[in-house]
Amino acid sequence: MSVALEIVDVRKTFGTGVAVERASFAVEANRFVSIVGPSGCGKSTLLRIVAGLVAPTAGRIAVAGRRVDGPITNVGMVFQAPVLLPWRTTLANILFVAEVGGHKASMHRARALELMDLAGLRGFEDALPHQLSGGMQQRVAICRALLLNPPLILMDEPFGALDVMTRERMGFELQKIWWASRNTVLFVTHSISEAVLLSDSVVVMTPRPGRIHEVVEVDLPRPRDASVLTQPRFVELCARVRGGITRFERDVARDEADAHVL
C-alpha cells in the first residue's frame, strides 16, 4: 500500500517553548488515522504543519511523496467550527470549494448531492446555516471537504463542540461517508473512544512537548456499528490508548520527583 503522508522528525517551537518534539510517523493511503493526547500536546499544531499552514522548526512533511513547504491545495479541511457562509444555502456551501478552486459549480452538483445523500442532508439543499442543527452544519462541512475527492482529509476536533449523543451519532455518520470514498484521513480528537471507533490506527502523543509515544493498530472489523462499543476488543483497545497516556504521565511525574530529590 502506498504512503499518503510522511511526518519525519518534526519539531516546532514557539516563543513559549517547544510544542512538538521529533514527531515521526507515516500514514498509508486510504486509511483513517487519529491523533490523541492531552490538551496542549501539539495535536492541532501538528495538523496545521501537515496542511502547510504552519512551518516546522525542523523536520519535514511529505504528502503523496511531495515535500510540504507551504499551504497545500489537494487537501480537505474540517475544523471544530463548521465555518459555513451564512448567506449561502447548504448546497451552495458545499459547492463553494469548487468555485474557490476555479471549477464550475455545476460540474460538481451531482457529486454534492451524492454526498448529501450519504450524510442524510437531502431535503435541506436550500436551507441556510442558521436553519440547521450543529451536527447538520458539521455534516455540510464534511461534504464540502470531500467534494473534490482530495487524497487527504485533515480534521481538527470536528465534533468537539457537539453534545455527547450528537457526537456519537456523528461518528457513525462520518464512518459511513468515509467508507464510501476511502480518502486518507488524519483526525485530531480528545476522545479516546471516538478515535478507536473511527480509526485504523491511533497515534498517541505525550504531554507538551508533544512526542509520538506509540501507534496503536485498531483491528476491529468494518463497517462498525453501535454494537462495537460493548465488544471486549473495543474496550481493550481504548484501555491500551488510555494506558499509554497515563503511563507516560506517571513516568514524567516520577522523573521530576527523582530530580527534585537529587
pLDDT of residue 22: 93
Beta strand ranges found along the chain (DSSP E): 3-14, 17-28, 32-36, 58-63, 66-67, 75-78, 152-156, 184-188, 201-205, 212-217
**Taking residues 246-260, what's their average pLDDT?**
50
Q: What is the pLDDT of residue 258?
A: 44
The answer to the question of residue 163 being in a domain is: yes
The verdict on residue 166 lying in a domain is yes
Residue 25 placed within a domain = no
Q: What is the pLDDT of residues 181-214, one digit of tens each?
A: 899 999 999 999 999 999 999 999 998 889 999 9
Residue 132, in any domain of the structure: no
The pLDDT value given to residue 253: 46
Cα–Cα dist 244/49, whole Å? 24
- Confidence category of residue 245, pLDDT binned at 50, 70, 90: confident
Whether 165 maps to a domain, the answer reads: yes
Is 110 within the bounds of a domain? no
pLDDT digits (tens, 9 = 90+) for 40-82: 889 999 999 999 999 999 999 999 889 999 998 889 999 989 9
pLDDT for 8: 96
Write down the pLDDT at residue 248. Answer: 54
Q: Which of 167, 163, 160, 158 has its CA nearest to residue 140? A: 158
CA distances from 114 to 89, 111, 146 (A): 16, 5, 11
Rounded percentage of the chain residues whose pLDDT exceeds 70: 94
pLDDT digits (tens, 9 = 90+) for 86-141: 999 999 999 999 998 888 999 999 999 999 999 999 999 999 999 999 999 999 99
- Sheet holding 66-67: strands in order across? 17-28, 3-14, 58-63, 66-67
Count the residues in the chain: 262
Per-residue pLDDT tens over the stretch 208-242: 889 999 999 999 999 899 999 999 999 999 999 99
Q: End-to-end CA distance of the chain, in Å?
A: 50
**Which residue range is the domain that position 206 belongs to?**
32-43+150-261
Q: Does residue 200 lie within any of the structural domains?
A: yes
Tell me, rounded to whole angstroms, the distance of Cα 71 from its chain centroid.
17
Find the CATH number of the domain harbouring 235.
3.40.50.300
pLDDT of residue 174 exceeding 80, the answer is: yes
The pLDDT of residue 1 is: 67
pTM to 2 decimal places: 0.90
Q: What is the pLDDT of residue 262?
A: 54
User: Could you give the CA distance from residue 177 to residue 115 in angstroms, rounded to a whole number?
Assistant: 8
Count of domains observed in the chain: 1
Task: Give a yes or no: residue 251 inside a domain.
Answer: yes
pLDDT digits (tens, 9 = 90+) for 23-43: 999 999 999 999 999 888 899
Average pLDDT over every residue of 235-250:
81
